[in-house]
Amino acid sequence: MNKVKEHPGDTVAAERKSPSIGVSVRAYAERVRGGDMGALPAVLGLIVLCTVFSIARPAFLTPINFANLFTQGAAITVIAMGLVFVLLVGEIDLSAGFASGVCAAVLAVTLTNLGLPWYVCVLAAILTGVVIGIVLGVLVAKVGIPSFVVTLAAFLAFQGLVLVLVREGTNISIRDDVIVAIATRNLPPWLGWVLFAACVAAYAGIQLFRARKRAARGLTADAMSLIVARVGALAVIGGLAVWVLNLERSRNPVLTSLTGVPIVVPIILVLLVFWTFVLHRTAYGRHIYAVGGNPEAARRAGIPVDRIKVSVFVICSSMAAVGGIMAASRAASVDPNTGGSSVLLYAVGAAVIGGTSLFGGKGRVLDAVMGGAVVAVIENGMGLMGYGASVKYLVTGSVLLLAAGVDAIARKRASAAGLR
């Protein structure tokens, strides 16, 4: 691993040693001190919240509640993934919540009222998301209305649209097995383990392959110890999660057995891997970061800034559609409140808590998952503690504000440390 070509007199080459764990940890500590905290607040928040809730309500730490966390947080996490893209270019989409509601309503109408097959309905819902994204994106990027205003207007308009679609407040129930299964059924335990093994093997393979290739070309490659640590961490955390999810969690195992990884988990994993690939391994993803970092530089580099902006709104709204489908599946129905109330705040909160900046240019898709976990834990724990809507709203608002505050302070510190 340590085959490094030496260029005499070249200081960059002198730095090209494989960073070991110690070096990487130190570099990370330096970044955190400089204000670039990444997912650290989310991880710390998760640990603190889980500890507090487990002590206050032992029911929090049961396998059935652990599985609930995933199905509760899935829709918000997926919407947050889409929001990360919009936030990366320095815009905001306040309509993502109700966009998911509109798409869920399209799904329900086509599925239940028109009786179309489920895949046609899913396609229709996602296409609705794409159209919404194009409209919002064009209004923001081409017409030049601030995204805050465009999406605030859409926030109101979409509430009306949901009402129109569900005929002024009736509740459309969803009975299609496939759609309902998305958020309510589980994988068979063996499939959970197979999936887990495949994920760990693929991750290890990619890491090793990349390190080998870079080392062969004489570039800085991650040290073996670091790769082993990363893969090991993934294996331990993932293995523990799959093990717990495969425990029997039915109250009455004789009647119905309830085991396995919820189906939403592999869906979120696939979305996470796909969008991470797009953001970090394609030129398109690089251009999204560039537009968020310095739109003028991006324009001069020949990047079509307007088209990139429209495209991120399309991604956001279509991911909102996927989130809407998950929400509809979980409730087995769509009503005027689907995607409403606190969904948007939770989703923005999830992205920001995970470490995505509201100022653009900084963020990852993984942030949405980390932040989504925090939001799910808060919602779930508060429910177990028996708090009413009033306290929930107060806490939601405070958490979003806290996350935005951390983001703003981190940005200030970063500029003081010369990191931004």
Partner 1 sequence: MTPLLEVRGIDKSFGPVQVLHDVSFSAYAGEVTALVGDNGAGKSTLVKCIGGTYPIDSGEMLFEGKPVQVNGPRDAAALGIEIVYQDLALCDNLDIVQNMFLGRERRRGIMLDEAAMEEQAQETLTGLSVRTVKSIRQQVSSLSGGQRQTVAIAKAVLWNSKVVILDEPTAALGVAQTAQVLELVRTLADKGLAVVLISHNMNDVFAVSDRIAALYLGRMAAQVRTADVTHAQVVELITSGRSGDLGITQ
CB 278, min distance to partner 1, A: 9
- Burial classification of residue 308, based on how many CB atoms lie within 10 Å of its CB (0-12 exposed, 13-18 middle, 19 or more buried): buried
CB 372, min distance to partner 1, A: 23
CB 7, min distance to partner 1, A: 7
Cβ distance to partner 1 smaller for residue 10 or 248? 10
Cβ distance to partner 1 smaller for residue 62 or 220? 220
CB 411 within 8 A of CB 80: no
Terminal Cα-to-Cα distance of the chain (whole angstroms): 33
CB 301, min distance to partner 1, A: 3
CB 280, min distance to partner 1, A: 8
CB 10, min distance to partner 1, A: 6
**5: phi then psi, degrees, rounded to nearest 5:** -70, 135
CB 65, min distance to partner 1, A: 39
- Burial classification of residue 286, based on how many CB atoms lie within 10 Å of its CB (0-12 exposed, 13-18 middle, 19 or more buried): middle
CB 310 within 8 A of CB 288: no
Question: How distant, in Å, are the alpha carbons of 4, 53, 186, 357, 385 from that of 354?
Answer: 36, 20, 27, 9, 24
Cβ distance to partner 1 smaller for residue 259 or 357? 357
Cβ distance to partner 1 smaller for residue 31 or 392? 31
CB 368, min distance to partner 1, A: 18
Cβ distance to partner 1 smaller for residue 153 or 417? 417
Binding site for partner 1 (CB under 8 A): 7, 9-12, 15, 213-214, 217, 219-220, 281-283, 286-287, 289-290, 292-294, 296-298, 300-303, 361-362, 414, 418-420
Cβ distance to partner 1 smaller for residue 111 or 291? 291
CB 220, min distance to partner 1, A: 7
Counted residue by residue, the chain has a size of: 420
Cβ distance to partner 1 smaller for residue 103 or 298? 298
User: Distance of alpha carbon 304 from its chain centroid, rounded?
Assistant: 26
CB 234, min distance to partner 1, A: 22
Cβ distance to partner 1 smaller for residue 15 or 177? 15
Cβ distance to partner 1 smaller for residue 167 or 280? 280
Residue 150 has a CB neighbour count (10 Å cut-off) of: 24
Cβ distance to partner 1 smaller for residue 57 or 214? 214
Distance between CA atoms of residues 65 and 67, nearest Å = 5
Tell me how far apart the 2 most distant CA atoms of the chain are, in Å: 75
Cβ distance to partner 1 smaller for residue 184 or 220? 220
CB 303, min distance to partner 1, A: 5
Beta pairing class for 172-173 and 333-334? antiparallel
* Type of residue found at 45: G
